[in-house]
Amino acid sequence: MNFTKFLRGRWKAMGYASKGALTLLRTEASIQVQAAIAIVMTIAGFYFEISATEWIAQTLCIGLIMGLEGMNTTAEAIADFIHPDFHKKIGHIKDIAAGAVVMTAIASSVVGLIIYVPYIQQLFQ
């Protein structure tokens, strides 16, 4: 295998992936909300000077939610493409995909509380 050809292929793939991420951010309200929350949490991280371990946890949570939100959008788009009219099974599939996002958001919220409650409590002492 030609290493240069391999690198060009990876570079091209990154272009497609970046295009997809920008399309997702421009067109989907749910990912826009998640991105806004991610920005607020990042600002909070700098303000409270959270530890490296806390940054790792926060970054992983943001990435998981944003990535899963993208996969949820993909599942919904595929389901709508396959069966544009209402169908009980398609609705079930969409609900499961959305449920995965909700579970991740709840877990990420708990992580956020574990990180930030002590810092917020220090503000009031």
* Interval 64-111: pLDDT, tens: 999 999 999 999 999 999 998 989 999 999 999 999 999 999 999 999
21: number of Cβ within 10 Å: 14
* Interval 1-36: pLDDT, tens: 688 999 999 999 999 999 999 999 999 999 999 999
Burial of 69 (0-12, 13-18, 19+ CB in 10 A): buried
Please report, for the chain, the start and end positions of each structural domain, with discontinuous segments joined by +: 3-123
Identify the CATH number of the domain defined by range 3-123. 1.10.287.3610
Q: Across all residues in the chain, what is the average pLDDT? A: 95
Give the residue, 83 or 61, on which the prediction is more confident: 61
